[in-house]
Structure 1
């Protein structure tokens, strides 16, 4: 219990200390007009208040990732707590803040355009493909996961196929309509369910004195799966997630002032980490590693959510908690499709003011996702995890380059970027869905690739520091200043 409470305290302290430091490094400009005003179109660029933006950002980024991921990561034992806490403070929240704020400085641009600007034009095409792959996978996962949970709460005559169809209908409407019509209007109610579920389970753990394991670096995974690199892909959204880099630009187009960025981007990542801590702690305290593994094998993370919720809060409270968990993926799935539509529109330079233009892009995306729902969830999750963290790696390198070109402290981004490069390359070289190489060979190969990335970045930084001319990092600046 002490470990759990200390972890929550550290996350809160991290927001007020390191979050403030990251904000200082970035250098906000309160007097600078944001894209919400300079590019206002009534569809995607719409000024909204900080509270509403913060809530939407939290619901956007907090899909099943900060619940399902930590539940599966709980198999490793309390070492998972370390990744959630330190990953969120020094990597995830930095990642979210930089992608959101750099997007604000660049007309609300999405990650592919930012990668093209700061890492090279050729990279833009690669990142565009990566981002779309990730978003379609996320949207698909976030249809099947809540549908499975809802199926347990509805009468037997309502099939899971009907539930999936209804979720797709909601996603389609939310993707097409202006952001303030559905997402901006109904998210406060969804947020209430989110708070009830997370706080309810968290308080239940404390009140009942749940036997949450104290800190140990021992790997408790019943199948003895190595901590590196899989833990850092299994627990993604609760610590560091590339999916967030696709969501932050949505809110960068509705943010009224740069001073609100720390609360919206850094703060909501910390809030998501608290949610992840609660569910990881619940899974560890209620189930032994072997029991948890068996339940995951038989019913998946959704079964764990149901058992934990009912056990901690009773039938009525547990049902509300489950509804709160259902809200998370649904309020990320809709913005996943929305973000995919916006990325494709930016890539092919098609304005989205006319609804016919939105339909032209959205319909094919939904067709692909419907086909993917026929795939095995566990297989989808493996591809999602790797694509997710690879996108995070790219976003961190974008942030590092942005800061480095201004001769600011790029280490806040380049150090986690280096670590995630090692994680992602090791995984894809070793994993069955990748090259299937031995771990030793994969580790060596990943080291070579990571060193190459660092060398290329160092070369760019060396060139930058040889001149007094600063790169045009913001749309508001001239070619040089």
Structure 2
């Protein structure tokens, strides 16, 4: 109980104090014009208010990850709280803030363009592949999970296939329409539902006394049932602590911010809020179920079954139904912007302006055709590949941020430390998991360390050479990436 409460307090304090350090280290210029005002196009570059940007960012990054992940992470016991809190403050929120602000300084460029600029042109093609794969997987898996939950609440004729079709139609419209036409208008209602649901779960935990069922974190329960936390925990809980998917979402909002000073609240603040949401759902799962029961519920119906059990147990029939709707909001509001981000990333890559509706159709239709085809692949297989690709993307984003800070002669350890930690883990995961090489863990510990060290040395060799060749007029120093580098035929 006290571990959970302390975790919530630390998340709030992390925003109040640590985010200020991160903010100052970046070198914010409140009087500098932003892409939203300079490049306004009525579609993606649209100035919006600070609170609306925060809400859209929160809903964009908070898919089923900060609920499903922590519920499955509850199988590890209270150590899940430790990763959520430390991951959110020192890794996830830092990742989201710096990538969002670097994108803002580069005319809202997405991760592949930023990787090309700061890590080398060859990285542009690699990161484009990873980013496209990640967004496609996110959009696809975030169709199936809300469709399953909705089918459980509605009459028989409104089955899973009915909701899949309806969600795909909404995703298609939100992908091609201007951001303030659909997403900007309905998100405030979605946001209210999400926040009320999460608060309801938290308040009811205390009101019913179930909060006392949560054990404290000790050295003895760090590995419940002898389950190793490395690397599994860091991939089971990603969106509630550190997630590369967020690196694909922050550039959307970097194109709508009206002032650089708003980035701390919008990027860092949204991630801390997501961390609190993750804590609440992890606490509910730990409080209501023992490890064996929770494992059985998840294995029989995935984490969505556990969500249903938690909401109806804590909130009753009516409250549980509203709670399920609040959970459904999360994947839908990440799936829609996943496809939107994918359209923008592909447009950046092939240099196709998106002001014309026909150009948006040209990219969007093939995306959805591929996504529909992926629907026939087993969800659990898709999810395993998603979790790995997700954290690889986080590593790339953290190293882009590290290169940026290094070139700007600012403290780059804020991003280097979590980036190096996750680099080691993504290599270890690939070596040991069945989706990778399935090697013994003992050998993989050392091989992963050697490979991570080699990549780290190559990275610093690259950025040092890059910095040694810079002049005072260099675009790398002056944060200049012309919109014509992204869209040569732009009319802007």
Taking structure 1 as the reference length, what is the TM-score of the superposition? 0.97
Kindly report which structure 2 residues correspond to 1:199-238, keeping only aligned pairs within 5 A, or say none: 199-210=199-210, 211-217=213-219, 218-222=221-225, 224-238=226-240
- Aligned with residue 258 of structure 2, among 256, 259, 268: 256
Structure 1 residues 270-307: Cα deviation after superposition (integer angstroms, max 9, x where no partner): 00000000001111110000000000000110011011
Mapping of residues 266-415 of structure 1, within 5 Å: 266-415=268-417
Preserved CA contact (<8 Å) 1:101 1:252: yes
Q: Deviations over 1:386-433 (max 9, x none)?
A: 000000000000000000011110000000000000000000111111
- Give the distance between the partners of 1:166 and 1:478, measured in 2 at CA: 39
Q: Which residue of 2 aligns with 1:192?
A: 192
Partner residue, 2:245: 243
Q: Is the 8 A contact 2:119 2:463 kept in 1?
A: no
Cα–Cα, structure 1 residues 79 and 445, in superposed 2: closer, same or farther, change >3 Å?
same
Q: Give the whole-Å Cα distance in 2 for the aligned partners of 1:341 and 1:298.
A: 35
Structure 1 CA distance for aligned equivalents of residues 468 and 160 of structure 2: 61
Deviation at 1:216, TM superposition (A): 2.3
CA contact (8 A) 1:35 1:104 kept: yes
> What RMSD, in angstroms, separates the aligned Cα atoms of the two structures?
1.6
Give, in whole Å, the separation in 1 of the partners of 2:481 and 2:184. Answer: 35
Secondary structure class of the residue paired with 2:217: coil
Q: Residues 207-259 of structure 1, C-alpha deviation per residue, up to 9 Å, x if partnerless?
A: 2222112112424555x432101110110000000000000000000000000
* Corresponding residue for residue 433 of structure 1: 435
1:461 is displaced (CA, Å) by 5.3
Deviations 1:168-207 (A, max 9, x none): 0000001010000000011000001101111100111122
SS of equivalent residue, structure 1 residue 3:
helix
Residue in structure 2 matched with residue 180 of structure 1 by the alignment: 180
Question: Is 2:77 the partner of 1:74?
Answer: no
Deviation at 1:69, TM superposition (A): 0.5
476 and 421 in structure 1: CA distance in 2 versus 1, 3 angstrom threshold: closer
Are 1:142 and 1:329, in contact at CA under 8 Å, matched by a contact in 2? yes
* Residue segments in structure 1 that go unaligned for 5+ positions in a row: none
3-state SS of 1:443 partner: helix
User: Shift of residue 436 of structure 1?
Assistant: 1.4
1:156 is displaced (CA, Å) by 1.4
Q: Does structure 2 retain, via aligned residues, the 8 Å contact 1:147–1:164?
A: yes
Aligned to 1:27: 27
Q: Is 1:472 aligned to 2:475, yes or no?
A: yes
- Is 1:155–2:145 an aligned residue pair? no
Unaligned runs of 5+ in 2: 483-492
Distance 1:171-1:221 versus aligned 2 partners, 3 A rule: farther
Distance 1:166 1:242 in 2: 28
From the superposition, tell whether residues 467 and 136 of structure 1 become closer, same or farther in structure 2 (CA, over 3 Å).
closer
What displacement does 1:95 show? 0.2
List per-residue Cα deviations over 1:297-353 (Å, max 9, x = no partner): 001100110110011111111111110000000000000000000000000000001
> Paired residue for 2:143?
143
Aligned equivalent of 1:451, options 453, 456, 468: 453
CA distance in 2, matches of 1:424, 1:56: 29
Shift, 1:377, TM fit: 1.5
In structure 1, the partner of 2:424 is 422
Cα deviation for residue 465 of structure 1 reads: 7.3
Cα distance change on mapping 1:290 and 1:108 into 2, 3 Å? same
Residues 40-79 of structure 1: pairs in structure 2 closer than 5 A: 40-79=40-79
CA deviation vs aligned residue, 1:139-161 (integer Å, no higher than 9, x gap): 01100000111011001122211
**Residue in 2 that maps onto 1:5:** 5
Q: Is the 8 A contact 2:107 2:481 kept in 1?
A: no
> Structure 2-normalised TM-score?
0.95
In the alignment, the residues of structure 2 paired with residue 229 and residue 273 of structure 1 have an alpha-carbon distance, to the nearest angstrom, of 20
| Residues 70 and 279, structure 2, Cα contact 8 Å, conserved in 1 | yes
1:99-127 deviation per Cα after TM superposition (whole angstroms, max 9, x unaligned): 10000000100000000100000001000
CA contact (8 A) 1:73 1:234 kept: yes
Cα distance in structure 2, aligned partners of 1:442 and 1:118: 30
